[in-house]
Every structure is written in structure tokens, then in C-alpha cells.
Structure 1
């Protein structure tokens, strides 16, 4: 599975409280999302405001992409939402 992260600004959804970011998976564009809760719990977002969420995403983009890559690889998903519980599991397994 070839996974390429596109260097585009994530799109904010105030209704869903997520940021969507594009990924190319085996040549197809896939929109992945990360929740505000995940950005607050794990990546230091101070609030669900656009500026706070995008700032946390940008600062921790490498870690977010690594967790996304693993989840895409594990589930062979075509679309995914990166949630706090998965990131907690992913980070715990990095330490072991």
C-alpha cells in the first residue's frame, strides 16, 4: 500500500469539529479526518477554534501522519477518522 501525504492546509468543519486532510492511497485521493478531541487530548490544541486546531495539526503533523499511516495500513481503509482512543493506543505501543 503506497501512502503519500499531501502538503495541503487541512479543512476545518465546525459542525463536525474535525480537520480533514488529503492522502493519496495507491494513487487515489482519500480525505482523512482528525477530531478536535484528538487534537486537544494528544497534540496540545487549546480549543476547538480553527486557529488552535490547525496550529496543533501543523506542529504535530509528523506524528499525526505516522498514526494515520498505521491506521490506514492496518485497516486498509479508504477513509478514516483519527480519534483519541486510537492515538492513545498507537502512542502506548510506540513505547513498548
Structure 2
């Protein structure tokens, strides 16, 4: 499975408090997301507002992608990363 991440800025979904980003799995786009809670708990977002979440995503981009890759490899599809994914990483 070949997984590549686009360098686009993640998109804020205020209704669901998620930041969406795109992974390409074997050349096909796959929607992935990380919860505001995970960005607050693990990457220092000061609030669930778009600006602080964007900043936290940038700070944690490498770790977010690493955890997302593991999840995609397990599920074969898009994932929503929650705080618990980062507690059990490793």
C-alpha cells in the first residue's frame, strides 16, 4: 500500500470539530480527519477554533501523518483520528 499526503492546508469542519486532510492511497484520494480534542490534547491547540487548530495541525503534522498511516494500513480506508489514537501510538 502506497500512502502519500498532500501538502494542502487541512479544512476545518466546525459542525463536527474536525480538521480534514487528504491522503492518497495507491493514487486515490482518501478523506482523513483529526478531532479538535486530539489537537488540543496532544498538539497544544488552545481552543477548538479554526486558527488554533490549524496551528496545532502544522506543529503535529509529522506525528499526525504517522498515526494516520498506521490507521489506513489497518482499515484500508479513510480514518478519523481521535485523542486515543495518540495515547496508544508506538
Q: TM-score, normalised by structure 1?
A: 0.90
Q: Which residue number in structure 2 is paired with residue 72 of structure 1? A: 72
Residue 75 of structure 1 deviates from its aligned partner by 2.1
Q: Which residue number in structure 1 is paired with residue 84 of structure 2? A: 85
CA distance in structure 1 between the aligned counterparts of 2:33 and 2:53, rounded to whole angstroms:
12
Residue 42 of structure 1 deviates from its aligned partner by 0.7
Secondary structure of 2:23's aligned partner = strand
Q: TM-score, normalised by structure 2?
A: 0.96
Structure 1, unmatched stretches of 5+, are none
Secondary structure of 1:30's aligned partner = strand
Secondary structure of 2:22's aligned partner = strand
Residue 85 of structure 1 deviates from its aligned partner by 0.9
CA distance in structure 1 between the aligned counterparts of 2:37 and 2:57, rounded to whole angstroms:
12
CA distance in structure 2 between the aligned counterparts of 1:53 and 1:13, rounded to whole angstroms:
11
List 4+ stretches of structure 1 deviating above 2 A: none
Secondary structure of 2:37's aligned partner = helix
Residue 60 of structure 1 deviates from its aligned partner by 1.1
Q: State the number of aligned residues.
A: 90
Structure 2, unmatched stretches of 5+, are none
Residue 20 of structure 1 deviates from its aligned partner by 0.2
Residue 27 of structure 1 deviates from its aligned partner by 1.0
Q: Which residue number in structure 2 is paired with residue 8 of structure 1? A: 8
